[in-house]
Amino acid sequence: MWLLILFFSATISTALWYSKAEDDRYMLKFLSLIFWGASVMVFIDHLMSYITEGGEFIEVTIESTILGFVLVITALIIWEIALLIKDPKQVIRKKI
């Protein structure tokens, strides 16, 4: 389930970035890359696990759903930290 949640988040963030691509002020491209990188990593993990061990390719349990949301929250926290460092509206470091 966490693979599906990450793919959904990657798709939504890419659509948001593409609609605002001219002025990527809030680093939506960075958020999209975080989600796509995590999605590819989890896909390869699931694929290798499926090839070597067999079983289910997509696990649908409450634990995997919680893990998916934890990964989304972690990606959003990393994106927020990057936004605070870049400070696109110059709120933290005001220009004199």
Residue 51 lies in a domain: yes
Rounded CA separation 68/71 (Å): 5
Residue 42 lies in a domain: yes
Residue 82 lies in a domain: yes
pLDDT of residue 95: 62
Report CA dihedral (83, 88, 91, 96) to the nearest 10 degrees. Answer: 140
The pLDDT-based confidence of 96 (bands split at 50, 70, 90) is: low
pLDDT in tens, 20-75: 878 888 889 999 999 999 999 999 999 999 999 888 888 889 999 999 999 999 99
Please tell me the total count of domains within the chain: 1
Q: Which residue has the higher pLDDT, 91 or 42?
A: 42
- For the full predicted model, state whether its pTM sits above 0.75: yes
Residue 91 lies in a domain: no
Contact 60, 1 (CB under 8 A): yes
**Could you tell me the two tokens for 91?**
């709120």
Residue 26 lies in a domain: yes
The boundaries of the domain holding residue 60 are 2-86
